[in-house]
A and B are shown apart, each in its own frame.
Chain A
Amino acid sequence: MRDAAEASNAAVDAAPVKAAERAERRGHGFQRGLAPFAAPLGVGLVVAGVWEFAVGYWQVPEYLLPPPSAIVETMGAERATLASAWCVTFGAMAVALMAAVLFGVLLAAVFATSRIVELSLFPYAVVLQVTPLVAIAPLLMIWINTPWIVKLVCAWIVAFFPILSNTALGLRAADPGLSDLFRLYRASPWQRARLLLAPSALPYFLAGLRVAVNLALVGAVVAEFVTGAATDHPGLASLVFEGQYAMNVPLTFAALGLISGTGIAMYFATHLLSRWLLGGWHASSLEPDRP
């Protein structure tokens, strides 16, 4: 049973913590809640306003630079086409990303168990990363000849490496003291993997995911350009082409806007996922303590 002295000790220890919690609750409410979304949205609205005004003031032709209002109007008019194209591009990105996560994490786990396997295979993973996608895609078209699979493979290639390298790094970044502790208590390999390595690697994996998610989108779009998949599976990149050929520049901008918007949405989604999974224990998920 805890005696009075211990209770007082714990109270003394707890005092700075409670004070810090109160200060944290008092301040930074706006920063923690709305600022990450409101601040960039505000900047976007200002830029759009200036853009609209400048295009009208200098009477820039629509085929050179359409005003934001025309782009929004086109988005409304072509919403069925755009939605269908977005589904194709987003679907390719999502499937490629899931495959990248699956294979990236599995291979990183293999690397963590065998240094010789890592030394043997890692250079080839780097080759995949450094070879330009536009150089690989035509070869893939020759070998595979199914544009949507080529698109998946292209998006997977670019998304795979950040997942692999970050997770492999994270699996090796477990606290040496905790590693000693697990050895001392004779933890089984499975216990070590589940209770130590996986949580240690999680922040690294999520950082890789944040990069990979947008690379997968870029990979899918570039693959659409290279494979010319407009006829079979028109994606957003196909609409960019279509707008260019038809001098329908607002459609090009609308497709580009959807690509950018998807990228931004995916970035914030991974940001929220990180905050949720890291649960306030990792420095990357904590708000900086600034006045």
Chain B
Amino acid sequence: MTPPAATPASGRPPAPGSPPPSAIDLRRVGKVYPGGTRALDGVTCRFEPGEFVSLLGPSGCGKCTVLRIVAGLAAPTTGEVVRGGKAGGGSPGVPMPTELGCVFQEPTLMPWARVWDNVYLPLRLRGVRRRAAQDRVDAALTRVGLADFAGALPRELSGGMKMRVAVARATVARPAVLMLDEPFAALDEITRFRLNDDLLRLWSEQAWTGLFVTHSVFESVYLSSRVIVMSGRPGRVIEEVAVPLPYPRDDATRTSAEYVSLCRHVSDALRRSMAGAGQHGAADAQGGTRDA
């Protein structure tokens, strides 16, 4: 499928001090794992600077593989990843030449380190001294509402709080691209709604490009300026749905007729993407629709 023309994400001005933006192009990217599993087949899509894109599809469709390839944690078997006119995803283990942040399905915190030290990690790995990082780490914790828990150990936090720490860690270094791999899938709905709002607030403040992987039709439409619907394995881009709902979004957005109509449209696209899939995939797709 031909990717749509570059679209401004939300019309908001870029955040001060943010890295120079550039688009990420996936060109006919295919991925076959060593065991012979074909995860992706000719995935072509483009992520414009500053937009918030959700990748939606059934389990095992390769959404996470797309993120891993963009992050440089996996290499495409065929095709290429281009950023700012330069190919950068062709070598295994070579990260894209950009500042990336990542939030995984699990909070993935260092259990032996205090919350402050967990958030400090990306800066520490870049050689920033503790004292120099103090203000940035404190600000990141304040942004996610955990300033009072800087000295806590991860085991002392609830699931939602751990995920907030993971978001603070991923955004502390002001990344150009923030990848979120089903980060809120294990949380209850109220917590997830709250974290969705927090995420959109961070996005509007920091102007990173958001790549969000999810099973939830509701969540994908609420957060994104564009939803990419993928087929079952091997993953292909079936449809790209533009979400022209204005930002900022809130509870009123969730009950608007346009939002409901977009959710229905995305659900239909997801169902169509599953038409040729097996029983297991169909059951997953139903779950995703029910969730919406």
A187 CB within 8 Å of chain B: yes
Most buried by B among A10, A181, A187, A282: A181
Q: Tell whether, in the assembled complex, residue A184 and residue B73 are in contact, meaning their CB atoms are under 8 Å apart.
A: yes
B155 CB-CB contact with A under 8 Å: yes
The reply to whether A183 and B95 form a contact with Cβ atoms under 8 Å apart is yes
Quick check: B147 and A180 within 8 Å, CB to CB?
A: no
Q: How many residues of B contact A (CB 8 A)?
A: 37
Q: Would you give the shortest CB distance from B276 to chain A, in whole angstroms?
A: 32
A130 at the interface (CB under 8 A from B): no
Complex Cα spacing A259 to B264, Å: 75
Q: Pick from B153, B154, B158, B198: contact of A16, CB below 8 A.
A: B158
Q: Which of A1-58 contact B (CB under 8 A)?
A: 1-2, 6-7, 9-10, 13-14, 16-17, 21
Q: Which residues of B contact A281 (CB under 8 A)?
A: 111-112, 153-155
- Secondary structure at the A interface, as helix, strand, loop or mixed, is helix
Assess the A177–B106 pair: CB atoms within 8 A.
Answer: yes
The 10 closest A-B pairs by CB, nearest first: A177-B108, A6-B145, A185-B125, A10-B145, A199-B112, A13-B161, A281-B112, A281-B111, A187-B125, A177-B104
Q: How large is the interface on A (under 10, 10 to 19, 20 to 34, 35 or more residues)?
A: 20 to 34
The listed residue (B110, B142, B157, B158) touching A178 by CB distance below 8 A is B110
Contact check, B158 vs A17: say whether CB atoms are below 8 A apart.
yes
**Chain B residues within 8 Å of A195, by CB:** 110, 121, 124-125
Contact A182 B125 (CB under 8 A): yes
- Is there a chain B Cβ closer than 8 Å to A279's Cβ? yes
13 CB < 8 A contacts A-B: A6-B145, A6-B198, A14-B149, A17-B156, A21-B156, A177-B106, A180-B104, A184-B71, A185-B122, A186-B95, A199-B112, A202-B112, A280-B155
B21: Cβ under 8 A from any A Cβ: no
Q: Is A191 in contact with chain B by the CB < 8 A criterion?
A: yes
Complex Cα distance A40/B100, Å?
A: 54
Contact residues, B56-115 vs A (CB, 8 A): 71-73, 93, 95, 100, 102, 104, 106, 108, 110-113
Q: Is B111's CB under 8 angstroms from A184's CB?
A: no
Please tell me if the beta carbons of A178 and B108 are within 8 angstroms of each other in the complex. Answer: yes
Could you tell me the distance between the alpha carbons of A178 and B154 in the complex, rounded to whole angstroms? 14
Is A199 touching B110 in the complex (CB atoms < 8 A)?
yes
- Interface pair A280/B153, CB less than 8 Å apart: yes
Nearest CB in chain A: distance from B168 CB, A: 12
Q: CB of B251 within 8 A of chain A?
A: no
User: B residues engaging A (CB < 8 A)?
Assistant: 71-73, 93, 95, 100, 102, 104, 106, 108, 110-113, 121-122, 124-126, 142-143, 145-149, 152-158, 160-161, 194, 198
* Any B CB within 8 A of the CB of A287: no
Asked whether A13 and B153 contact (CB < 8 A) given A185-B121, A281-B112, the answer is no
Q: Is A184 within 8 A of B112, CB to CB? A: no
Question: What residues on A are CB-neighbors of B154 within 8 Å?
Answer: 281
Q: Give the distance in Å from the alpha carbon of A180 to the alpha carbon of B95 in the complex.
A: 11
Instruction: Write the chain A residue with the least CB distance to B197.
Output: A5
Would you call B112 and A282 a contact (CB within 8 A)?
Answer: yes
From B72, B143, B156, B194, A184 is in contact (CB under 8 Å) with: B72
Interchain CB contact under 8 A, A184 and B95: yes
A residues less than 8 Å from B142 (CB atoms): 1-2
Q: How far is the CA of A7 from the CA of B106 in the complex (A)?
A: 24
A41-81 Cβ-contact flags toward B at 8 Å (1 or 0): 00000000000000000000000000000000000000000
Contact of B145 among A7, A178, A184, A202 (CB under 8 A): A7
Tell me, in angstroms, the Cα distance from A168 to B102 when the chains sit together.
29
Give the chain B neighbours of A279 by CB distance below 8 A.
112
Nearest chain-B residue to A1 (Cβ)?
B142
Q: Which residues of A have CB within 8 Å of B124?
A: 191, 195
When the two chains form their complex, are residues A13 and B108 in contact, meaning their CB atoms are under 8 A apart?
Answer: no
The distance in angstroms between the C-alpha atoms of A281 and B111, with both chains bound, is: 6
